[in-house]
Amino acid sequence: MIKRWRDSSSIGGLLATILFLAGAASALHAAQEPELMGILTQVTGTVQLTGPGVTGDPLASTWQVIRVGVTIRVPQGGSAGILCSTCHFVRLSGPETWLLSEKACEAGEVLTPAEYRLVAPRAGRFKVVEGLQVLERENLQTWRQRRLASYTDRGGARVVQDWLMTGLSLFEQVEAAAPRFGIHARIARAEGNRGVNDDPLAPMVLSPRGAMRSPRPTFSWLKIPSSTEYRIELKGHRVHYESLMRAEDAICADSFDDLDICSLPWPADRPDLPPGKTFSIEIATRRQISEPWRRSQSLEVRTPTLADIKTLEARLQRIDSMGWQGGARDAARAGLFAEAGMYTEAAEAYRRVLTAAPHPEFLITLADVYLMSGLLNRAEPRYRESLEEASPVIQAAAAFGLGRVEYARGRFREAALQFQTARALYAKLKLGDEEAAARHAAEKATARATALQFTLAPEPSVSIKGIEKKGRLPPLLCGDPICASNRGPGGIE
């Protein structure tokens, strides 16, 4: 459990209350300029504050939010860094006294809106994860959210797996497949890279996920206590790497969140992976040599192009040149990794920030990174932990994240409820963009729940090319929690 700072002047308190960080881009289009604010991204020594909003302890703390008119006193040997909401960064070295004003901020280093949002949260999270508020991202290509049909003939001798055609109802899909297979159909949801695995004894791949920063990746996965052997496989673009290792030879250690994680570095005698290519990764385990392998889901990962690497390194060097240190530097680097789809590196950096500064915005953003990398089981507990926060903006961000988790699992009814909760909170906070996104998500989840219920519980008599169904669907077809909850002869109460 992460210990939280509940100081009203912290980033998780005052910032959420006054909602000043609308972001530079949004501020340019606002009808009225927001009040000037600043975030202390770096504090060294006994830096003191006086002025509006400063109550109790005058000592400054990292990620504290200050208002216009606050005076910062930096002692000899001390230092402070202030991120102004005007997209400027100011560095102070003691002894120095500085008053937060527009003129004083403009004397600092100018930041681009993209640089500003790396260390300035908005609406309860750092807006660095692309596509977070767009369900499915029109996402058949991005998340490959398709359904897998396991077709079995009546004798059970043949099992054929094939991707279902999207945009058709269940029985239209069965009808299209029936001429080839004369079959019963069983629908199982394929979650692609979303981290859902029906086999609890199969390893969960933790890294790499998304884009790989290094052409020499390190594989990591959750340890399976009953395992005696692991198989790690990467293939694609004329590359086929496979490693067999005994479980006792695996390097495993406790992680940031008390999980036992095993890892395997890229072999020294193997060449680098080529840039700009896509590969698949699969990790399997078994308890005995005579048993079949229990496989993880096959994950798609990619190496960035040389141009992408050059751009990222230039932005990382820019951060270093600005003198950001400690948590601010880690947060900015994490944001850059997240924007580049390098979720493994982003998560690692956000975990470091959380260790030093356990603010809920960082916890929410870490959950966002896990969500978009497909690690739903790691994202969900962090969203739920964030719900304990008293701040409505944090609760709204967490509810939206939980809605995304439920949607990814195909639990559309539960997702709609979470999105509706987020929408109501965003509406009270007058966060128009977030409210609109939550409203759209709730409508889409509700529509999917309704369509799924209709599809899995058709009218009492349906016959499609030899597939006869009377009354409700048989259990083989009715595997969805929404369908399973139906009652009555027609499948719907």
pLDDT, averaged in runs of 10, over the chain (493 residues) = 41 44 37 76 92 85 91 94 94 94 94 92 87 56 34 33 33 36 30 49 89 93 91 92 91 79 93 94 91 90 94 94 87 94 93 90 94 92 90 94 93 94 94 92 91 60 42 36 35 30
Question: Do 185 and 211 have their domain in common?
Answer: no
Residues 211, 179, single domain; the answer is no
Same domain, 175 and 218: no
Do the beta carbons of residue 243 and residue 284 sit within 8 Å? no
Q: Are residues 184 and 213 in the same domain?
A: no
Asked, for residue 429, whether it belongs to a domain, the answer is no
Residues in contact with 54: Cβ distance below 8 Å, sequence separation at least 6, in sequence order: 9, 66, 70
**pLDDT for 478:** 34
Question: 260 near 254, Cβ under 8 Å?
Answer: yes
Residue 66 bridge partners (DSSP):
38
Q: Does residue 364 belong to any structural domain of this protein?
A: no
Question: Does residue 229 share a domain with residue 173?
Answer: no
Alpha carbons 371 and 143: distance in angstroms, whole number: 12
Of 59, 94, 110, the last residue of a domain is 110
Contact assessment for residue 63 and residue 43, using Cβ atoms and an 8 Å cutoff: no
Residue range(s) defining the domain that contains residue 474: 147-190+457-484
Q: In what order do the strands lie in the sheet with 147-153?
A: 159-163, 147-153, 183-189
Say whether both 104 and 180 belong to one domain: no
Q: Which residues are within 8 A (CB) of 266 and not within 5 positions of it... i.e. 6 or more apart?
A: 216, 217, 218
153 falls within a domain = yes
What lies within 8 Å, CB to CB, of 290 at 6+ separation is: none
Q: Would you say 128 and 339 are in contact if contact means Cβ atoms under 8 Å apart?
A: yes
CATH number at residue 260: 2.60.40
* Element (DSSP H or E) covering residue 29: helix 24-29
Q: How many domains does the chain have?
A: 3
Q: Is residue 335 part of a domain?
A: no
Give the ranges where 162-213 is alpha helix by DSSP (H): 170-181
For residues 172 and 209, membership in a common domain is answered with no
What's the rounded Cα separation, in Å, for the pair 135 and 133? 6
**How high is the pLDDT of residue 487?**
35
Q: Which long-range contacts (CB under 8 A, 24 or more apart) does 398-403 make?
A: 398/124, 398/364, 398/367, 399/425, 400/133, 400/434, 400/437, 400/438, 400/441, 401/364, 401/367, 401/368, 401/371, 403/438, 403/441, 403/442, 403/445
Structural domain contains residue 355 = no
Q: Are residues 231 and 290 in the same domain?
A: yes
Using CA atoms, how far apart are residues 109 and 83, in angstroms rounded to an integer? 10
Q: Write down which residue in 234, 266, 296 finishes a domain.
A: 296
Q: Which of 240, 274, 296 is the last residue of a domain?
A: 296
Contact by Cβ (8 Å): 119, 332: yes
pTM: 0.74
Give a yes or no: residue 163 inside a domain: yes
pLDDT at 279: 95
3-state DSSP: the chain helix, strand, coil percent, rounded to 5? 35, 25, 40
> Does residue 231 sit in the same domain as residue 157?
no
Quick one: 234 and 275 in the same domain? yes
In a domain, 325, yes or no: no
Nearest to 350 by CA among 8, 340, 339, 338: 338
Instruction: Report yes or no on 469 lying in a domain.
Output: yes
Q: Which two tokens stand for residue 32?
A: 């009225």
**How high is the pLDDT of residue 161?**
31
Which tokens belong to 20? 């000043």
What is the DSSP secondary structure assignment for residue 290, as one 8-state letter? T
What pLDDT shows up at residue 10?
40
